[in-house]
Amino acid sequence: MDFSIIIPTHNRADELRETIRSIAKLTVAGDWELLVVDNKSTDNTRAVVEEESVAFPAPLRYIFEGEQGRYAALNTGIREATGNIIATTDDDARVEPDWLTRAAAGLDALQCDYVGGKVFPIWRGARPSWLPNRPGGGYWAVLAMYDRGDKPVEFGVNGTPWPLGINTATRREAFERIAPFENRLGRKAGTLRNQAQREWHLRARAAGLRGFYVPDMVVHHVVETDRLNKKYFRRWLYWHGISRAILFAKLGVDMNAPDNSTLDFSKVPQIAGVPRCLYRTLAGEISGLIRAWVRRDEVAAFEHELWLWFFAGIAKQRWSERKVAIPSPRRHGAADPLSQAHSNG
């Protein structure tokens, strides 16, 4: 099999149907399959997959995963996939017809291990005035949007963030070398944890794998109205802080800028489990918030406020793990003990 596409899903049968129909319009040179991994849905997800499989132009498989969490479902899909290239997307995505073709071309042209591309919004409500509309900024990650311009660039280099799980394609060999995604760092019902992609890619980079942003590899993502409010953003940033703190305890990377860590945090003094240097950033954000309030800059004020919610999540998680020893960070090219253990069974 040349390609496998994996969709983890949970209780979104109606959106899932539209996503499957979008994928059915792909133009693919080679054999391919679609795997829908049901993560304990209680709606008619299975029936939707079975109905859509009748006219689907490639094998369409339903798989059930009982462990809660998007990345538990994704890991199961990767194990079940038979393709040489494994692509991932979400159950509320719409892909361009040349999505897989562009992904394969990018992998070949850039001679890399994985690729990812643009993610544009399908707005189900009006964009709020406090949400900046500049590509790649203004907390686009909260709404799972991504745009780094029109030229290929390497992920994790010069500030280029890692790809979003809604739009990736990875060589099978990469998943055989690097241990599975950490489900604890991915979204589950009742949480908004969000660092599983970054954690896997940091381990992949430490083991020498490389990935590139491919601008013509395009996916569109539904942005529901219940995400277009400040309450959702505050909650997302709070869980973002919790997730970064879990990442910190596992890999020893900078919580504020994990892709560009320069310090050995196993040796950095801490206050209540939080590195002392982060309190200086906290003071700067509070000062920035006050200045934005004074000049009545709603956008800037909310960005500073969100960082405070981010810090609150860090503080909460670090207090609970304050006695856990922080590891020295692994450097690029270093052996990945988790991957070695995985490959050795």
Average pLDDT over residues 177-197: 93
The C-alpha atoms of residue 239 and residue 241 are separated, in whole angstroms, by: 5
Burial class (CB in 10 A: 0-12, 13-18, 19+), 221: buried
- DSSP assignment of 279-325, as one string? HHHHHHHHHHHHHHHHTT-HHHHHHHHHHHHHHHHHHHHHHHTTTSP
What single letter denotes the amino acid at residue 289?
Answer: L
Burial class (CB in 10 A: 0-12, 13-18, 19+), 82: middle
Q: Which residue has the tokens 């969490």?
A: 69
With residues binned 3-state (H G I as helix, E B as strand, rest as coil), the percentages for the chain, rounded to 5, are: 40, 15, 40
pLDDT in tens, 130-177: 887 766 665 788 999 999 999 999 999 998 999 999 999 999 999 999
> Whole-model pTM above 0.95?
no
What the chain holds in terms of domains, given with CATH numbers, is 3-226 (3.90.550.10), 233-320 (no CATH)
Identify the weakest region by mean pLDDT among 87-96, 137-146, 265-274. 137-146
Q: How far is CA 252 from CA 73, 232, 271, in A?
A: 27, 28, 16
- Contact status, residue 19 vs residue 5, Cβ threshold 8 Å: no
Average pLDDT over residues 289-312: 95
For strands 168-171 and 114-123, give the pairing: antiparallel
Report the chain's mean pLDDT, rounded to a whole number.
Answer: 92
The C-alpha atoms of residue 331 and residue 333 are separated, in whole angstroms, by: 6
- Contact status, residue 136 vs residue 146, Cβ threshold 8 Å: yes
User: 226 is written with which tokens?
Assistant: 């219940």
pLDDT in tens, 203-259: 999 999 999 999 999 999 999 999 999 999 999 999 999 999 999 999 999 999 999
Specify the pLDDT at position 138.
59
What single letter denotes the amino acid at residue 58?
Answer: A
- Contact status, residue 202 vs residue 327, Cβ threshold 8 Å: no
CA atoms within 13 A of residue 126's CA, in its CB half-sphere: 3
Measured over the CA atoms of residue 223, residue 229, residue 230 and residue 232, the dihedral's sign is negative
